[in-house]
Amino acid sequence: MKISCGQAADICTRTQYRESNVWERLKLRLHLARCRKCKGFSSKNAKLTDLCHKAGLCCLSEKDKQGMKRRLDGGA
């Protein structure tokens, strides 16, 4: 049931994007209860995610990505 700090960081990031399952979140909570460094990482990661949402940052749509790829490849 123990996880490494690397695994905790991965689960922490996926949890912020709602991509982790219940079992992973439980393991993360247990790890954060005993690891100060990961607890700090988790807190900073949550703040960064919140700031990105507040700033209204977004990704390109698939259509825009394809158009950019065509232009970069030399197409019209």
Instruction: Express each pLDDT in 9-59 by its tens digit.
Output: 999 999 988 899 999 999 999 999 999 999 999 999 999 989 988 998 777
Q: Is-contact 24 15, C-beta < 8 A?
A: yes
Q: Give the pLDDT score at 25.
A: 96
Report the percentage of the chain scoring pLDDT > 70.
97
pLDDT at 75: 66
Tell me what percent of the residues of the chain surpass a pLDDT of 90: 68
pTM of the model: 0.68
Tokens 């219940």 appear where? 22
State how far the Cα of 6 lies from the Cα of 29, in Å rounded to an integer. 14
Residue type at 6? G
Binning pLDDT at 50, 70 and 90, where does residue 76 land?
low
